[in-house]
Every structure is written in structure tokens, then in C-alpha cells.
Amino acid sequence: MTSADSQGAVQHEGVALGPWKLLTHSLSLARLVLGQAEELKRLRKRVGAVEQVAIKLHFYSRRYCDGRSTYAPSEHNMNTHTLLALGTELHRDPISKTGPFANDGMYGLTDRERAVLAQAGQEGGAL
């Protein structure tokens, strides 16, 4: 904890800091904050790029998986739920009748997928 006495002497965690030590300490903290800000900026850029790739791959994945009778539609739909839960806005496919989900060739859509589609319809169709 940092404090100052009545004569302006600064103490940090019980150790008296002279003016140069205080300045050095402040500069070190400033460098640390600037470094963290740069890292946050880099990570935000990276997350944005990964999100754009996920959106593009999702489009092709749905087209590939739709109507198949394999594990692919289930896997695609599970990942679609994850993207939606993360707040990713998925692009509309003009030929899709199942929104962002892939129809399983044997079982169709699960109750969970139908519920998401119904809710999106009530909210104006945004997914």
C-alpha cells in the first residue's frame, strides 16, 4: 500500500521512497500498463480475425453437413450453439430452411435447434 506522511515523504508497503525511487516506480507501473494495453489491442485484433474465419467456415460447414446421416450435422450444430452463445452473428444462407443449423438426414433438427429458431423468429429473425 502506498501512503504519504504530512511532510510529503512517500512510503510503499512500509518502505520509504525518495523522489527518484518514486519516479522510477511510477515509470515502471506506466510501462506495465502500456504493455498490457498493447497486448489487449493485439488480442482483440486476433479474436476479431478468428471470429471472421469461424463465420466463413460455419457457412460452408452447414452446406456440407446439411442432410447427411453421419455425426457431421450433430457436430456442426453443437458448434453452432457455441458460436451463438458467444454472441457471434452468423450470416444468413438464402437456401437454408434450417437457419444456421444442419438438418440431420435421419433425425432432422433436435428440439434445442427448433427452440432457437422459434425464438429467433419471435425476435425478428436475428441469430
- How far apart are the C-alpha atoms of 84 and 64, rounded to whole Å? 19
pTM of the full structure: 0.70
The pLDDT score that the predictor gives to residue 9 is 56
State pLDDT tens for residues 77-104.
999 999 999 999 998 888 888 899 999 9
Give the span between the Cα atoms of 93 and 70, in whole angstroms.
22
Percentages helix, strand, coil for the chain (3-state, rounded to 5) are 55, 10, 35
Candidate from 5-9, 21-25, 45-49 with smallest mean pLDDT: 5-9
Three cell numbers written together for 83: 458460436
Give residue-wise pLDDT tens across range 33-74: 888 999 999 999 999 999 999 999 999 999 999 999 999 999
pLDDT at 69: 94
